[in-house]
Structure 1
Amino acid sequence: MNTIPARLDHIVLATPELAATVAEFTRRTGVVPAPGGVHLGHGTRNHLVGLGGGAYLEILGPDPDQPEPVGPRPFGVDGLAGARVLTWAISPVDLDGTVAAARAGGYDPGDVREMSRRRPDGTLLRWRLTDGGRPHPSGLVPFLIDWGAAPHPSASGLPVTPLRELTATAPDPGELRAVLSVLGTDLRVGEGPAAFSCTLDTPKGPVTFG
């Protein structure tokens, strides 16, 4: 099996302390993540690194310059004990068609909603994504994203640390693989507690984040 999932869009490295995690990523890899922008109204911001092949790594955490959001911050970053590879996203050719096909196949990827981010240059990016699958809220099953007319983040001149592999463990690997197949993607998965590991090729050699 290919260790790079089909239709991979990005991997989310979530953290309760964004500046500290960006500094640690830089120390370990020798690559400085680029500021991505601000998720207005959600209380988060991100930094980005290209993974090659039109994919990227998103380092996401609380934005101290925004007021407290009305609801919880995305990906439950406030409740994390430390930085963690939390989930991933795929970009199907037809977002709505893939959602419908997945539901027909017994898996509900969640409702499709709109999101936006303000880049440092002031450009507002808008996209659509699914809000989390049921009955698999662990993050091992990817959410779906459609950038529409917005420029893809991987095409914005990001620093690059090529993705060597993305792997996972799950209590029931076979059942997880069946759901991934319904979504048109795959993932190297072994048996164990729900968890991710991604390995990047960096100027300092292979570096793994989990």
Structure 2
Amino acid sequence: MLRFDHLAVSAETLADGVAYVEQALGVALAGGGQHPLMATHNRLLGLGDLYLEVIAADPDAPRPAHPRWFDLDRFTGPPRLTTWICGCDDLDAALQASPPGAGQPVALSRGEFRWRMAVPADGILPFDSCFPALIQWQGPAHPAPRLPDTGVRLRWFEIAHPQAEALRAALADRFADPRVQIVPGPTRAMRAEFDTPHGRRALT
């Protein structure tokens, strides 16, 4: 089974992404750091059992010889939700049951965190990156419980795609979270609504 692990907001610069999320939700982000292998950096926001990640290419890191994850090499425009990430207990088995192009396992670490993540060779996940990125945390350390509790909780997360039925079928019997809705749409789009100390707020 797959478990909803976190959401990612991509941005051209980390400062732009942080400003977008903090203004939209009315709370401060915390934590994060660098991913040397991917030449990216991030900031995080705890959501109780989940967390939100703001991620961007790191201008101070050498550009990698391979495509960055989350399709960041092609990212342009304002910060926005681009990726959702699902956890699993066996990444290799999860990939075998996933559509072609879901990625190959890459071992990563930062501080106390150790994880394996499926990274597509071209950086683009199936269904125009509407299929979730897959992650397997190794050991007990996970970012969510270690982040400050700002009182923000995810109410729902909607993924719109022209092939919504096929995307739902690719996750059938493997993922069930009432907060996640996959709906038909003319183009890919993501939207999330949150309960915050300032009322209901949304990210797109």
TM-score bucket (shorter structure): 0.7 to 0.9
1:195 to 186, 189, 200: 189
Match runs of 1:164-175 below 5 Å: 164-175=155-166
Q: Deviations over 1:32-85 (max 9, x none)?
A: 1113111013221110111222x1111001223323333333323343212121
Secondary structure at the residue paired with 1:138? helix
2:153 to 145, 152, 162: 162
Q: Percent identity?
A: 33
Q: Deviations over 1:134-178 (max 9, x none)?
A: 982412111211111161011213344200110111102211110
Q: How many pairs does the alignment contain? A: 195
Structure 2 residue 138 is matched with structure 1 residue 148: yes
Structure 2 residue 97 is matched with structure 1 residue 110: no
TM-score by length of 2: 0.84
Separation in 2, partners of 1:81, 1:91: 28
Match runs of 1:25-40 below 5 Å: 25-40=21-36
Structure 2 residue 67 is matched with structure 1 residue 72: yes
TM-score by length of 1: 0.82
Report if the CA contact (8 A) 1:28-1:204 is conserved.
no
Q: Deviations over 1:104-158 (max 9, x none)?
A: xxx33332221233xxxxx253310112499824121112111111610112133
Report if the CA contact (8 A) 1:92-1:146 is conserved.
yes
Separation in 2, partners of 1:112, 1:41: 13
Separation in 1, partners of 2:112, 2:67: 22
Q: For residues 33 and 135 of structure 1, do their structure 2 counterparts lie closer, same or farther at Cα, with a shift above 3 Å needed?
A: closer
Report if the CA contact (8 A) 1:98-1:183 is conserved.
no
Report if the CA contact (8 A) 1:56-1:154 is conserved.
yes
Match runs of 1:13-162 below 5 Å: 13-53=9-49, 55-78=50-73, 79-100=75-96, 102=97, 107-108=99-100, 109-117=102-110, 123=111, 125-132=113-120, 136-149=126-139, 151-160=141-150, 161-162=152-153
1:3 is matched with: none
Secondary structure at the residue paired with 1:37? strand
Separation in 2, partners of 1:131, 1:137: 15
Separation in 1, partners of 2:60, 2:26: 27
Report if the CA contact (8 A) 2:10-2:17 is conserved.
no
Report if the CA contact (8 A) 2:6-2:86 is conserved.
yes
1:208 is matched with: 202
Report if the CA contact (8 A) 2:21-2:203 is conserved.
no
Residue segments in structure 2 that go unaligned for 5+ positions in a row: none
Separation in 2, partners of 1:156, 1:41: 23
Secondary structure at the residue paired with 1:28? helix
Residue segments in structure 1 that go unaligned for 5+ positions in a row: 1-5, 118-122
Query: What RMSD in Å do the two structures reach over aligned CA positions?
Result: 2.3
1:10 is matched with: 6
